[in-house]
Amino acid sequence: MFRILKKSLKTGIVTGRHPEARPTVPPVASDAKATAKPFRRSLAIREVDTGSCNACEMEMNALMNPVYDAERFGLHVAASPRHADALVVTGPVTVNMERALKDVHKATPDPKLVIALGDCAIDCGLFKGSYAVTGPVERHVPVDVRISGCPPRPAEILAALAELRGRLDKPAR
Ligand code: SF4
């Protein structure tokens, strides 16, 4: 016990600044920025997995950990699409999830944003041509923002959301 306490005191804080995003310009259209205007200070996100391998979700989950701490930028995870401002969709749209995606989109109040996260959501990625896939997200619901990568890193997701809301690296006040 004493040995563990001594080790903890000697080790100190081991977390540091998160890695910088790659210098790619996130593909955020100007009309998406206009839709995002009411959400500059607070954006509630609902994640929808339409058939991903789960790696994109892992990166989304990492946004809320103490390293990235997305809540300081006013980003929150909503428990229901009825409380969400934006849908973050991951994975290609599988046959079984097509109806669910359309229902979730319908249940989300306007104005809303749809963010296609990862190559699969944008163009089916690795799963292109599979019999179980009915197409990318934009084939079923309108997409405002595309964040590419397989999977995109948390810093890249944060950078795209900050760009969308015109709040580059500004913690919420
Ligand atoms: S983009 Fe890559 S990481 Fe994301 S769901 Fe598709 S295969 Fe998985």
Cβ contacts of residue 28 below 8 Å, gap of 6+? 144, 145, 160, 163, 164
Instruction: Name the residue with the closest Cα to ligand 1, atom 3.
Output: 151
The ranges assigned to domains in the chain are 25-165
Tell me which H or E stretch contains 94. strand 93-94
CB 108 within 8 A of CB 81: yes
CATH class of 25-165: alpha beta
Do strands 133-135 and 86-90 pair parallel, antiparallel, or not at all (unpaired)? unpaired
Task: Please state whether the peptide bond connecting residue 111 to the residue before it is cis, i.e. omega within 30 degrees of 0.
Answer: yes
In the reported structure, the alpha carbon of residue 135 is separated from the centroid of ligand 1 by a whole-number distance in angstroms of 14
| Average pLDDT rounded to a whole number, residues 46-57 | 94
Count of other CB atoms within 10 angstroms of residue 119: 22
Question: Ligand 1 within 6 A of 151 CB?
Answer: yes
Higher pLDDT, 167 or 114: 114
pLDDT tens across 126-139, in order?
A: 888 889 999 899 99
Residue 169 pLDDT exceeds 60: no
Q: Could you report the per-residue pLDDT of 11-37, keeping only the tens digit for each?
A: 876 666 666 655 554 566 677 777 878
**Any atom of ligand 1 within 6 Å of the Cβ of 59:** no
Bridge partners, 133 (sequence order): 94
What's the confidence (pLDDT) of residue 26? 52
Report the SS3 class of residue 126. helix
Q: What is the mean pLDDT of residues 101-108?
A: 95
Q: Is the CB of 152 under 6 A from ligand 1?
A: no
Burial of 98 (0-12, 13-18, 19+ CB in 10 A): middle
**Residues 56 and 90 sit within 8 Å (Cβ to Cβ):** yes
Q: Is the pLDDT of residue 63 over 70?
A: yes
Q: What is the mean pLDDT of residues 61-89?
A: 90
Residue 144 has pLDDT above 80, yes or no: yes
